[in-house]
Chain A
């Protein structure tokens, strides 16, 4: 069973760029789409987007001007970059495997706090 693990900074200053990475175990990163989801404290889930290794990513329209996703097949990982972060971007960030029409495997999540 695939395992995913998020990594990145736990604290980012307002207006800076956030970069998170998700490491994928058990190979096969080229066989699936990969997704990022976030959850503000005490709130529901928000899909950020998904990416396939040789196609352009698809993003949530509410975030697409600030986010970018990519896949590094040599490292078996994919990443999320978010520009110009604000306090509203504080929350848990999850990476997940996109399997046709559902998110079937999730990482444990990483808490990102935006604060000066």
Chain B
């Protein structure tokens, strides 16, 4: 069971918006920084969001991140079929002294 809790799946029609939650559930995730990764089928993960809400320059602004308290959220607007993928959140766990990933959320368009 992952330290970071994500819903197993979300779905929406093309053009709509989805949000994916990532709950730390504890204060052991002491860093304020959560990052998000997209893993398209059969490929390596790719960084989507870092430091809660920042996007690498190559990532379109349809993707957004936010964090409030012990929960982070990834938002995807204008859903496209090409967005069908697994999405993972990640953060440093001070209690484990290790990086931890959420269990992943499968997005279906």
Instruction: Tell me, yes or no, whether A102 is within 8 Å of chain B by CB.
Output: yes
Minimum CB–CB distance for B33 against chain A, Å: 4
> CA separation between A99 and B32, bound complex, in Å?
15
* Of B43, B50, B98, the contact of A102 (CB 8 Å cutoff): B50
Q: Are B101 and A44 in contact (CB under 8 A)?
A: yes
In the assembled complex, the CB of A49 is this many whole angstroms from the nearest CB of chain B, namely 8
Complex-state Cα separation, A37 to B97, whole angstroms? 16
- Chain B residues with CB under 8 Å of A47's CB are 90, 98-101
Which candidate, A21-29, A71-79, A80-88, A106-114, is the interface stretch facing chain B? A106-114
Instruction: Indicate if the CB atoms of A61 and B98 lie closer than 8 Å.
Output: yes
- A45 to B102: give the CA distance in the assembly, Å: 8
Proximity string of chain A (91-102) to chain B, C-beta cutoff 8 Å, 1 when within and 0 when not: 000100001011
Q: How far is the CA of A59 from the CA of B96 in the complex (A)?
A: 10
Residue of B35, B37, B44 near A108 (CB, 8 A) is: B44
For the complex, what is the distance from the CA of A109 to the CA of B44, rounded to whole Å? 6
CA A46 to CA B103, docked complex, whole Å: 9
Verify if B31 is at the interface (C-beta below 8 Å from A): yes
B51 contacts A101, C-beta separation under 8 Å:
yes
User: Do the beta carbons of B101 and A104 come within 8 Å of each other?
Assistant: no
| Chain B 1-31: CB-based contact to A (< 8 A → 1; otherwise 0) | 0100000000000000000000000000001
* Chain B residues engaging chain A, CB cutoff 8 angstroms: 2, 31, 33, 35, 37, 39, 43-47, 50-51, 56, 88, 90, 92, 96-104
List of 7 A-B pairs having minimum Cβ-Cβ separation, nearest first: A102-B35, A102-B50, A47-B99, A101-B33, A106-B44, A45-B101, A44-B104
- Given contact pairs A44-B2, A60-B99, A102-B51, enumerate 6 new A-B contacts (beta carbons under 8 Å): A35-B99, A45-B90, A94-B45, A101-B92, A102-B47, A108-B43
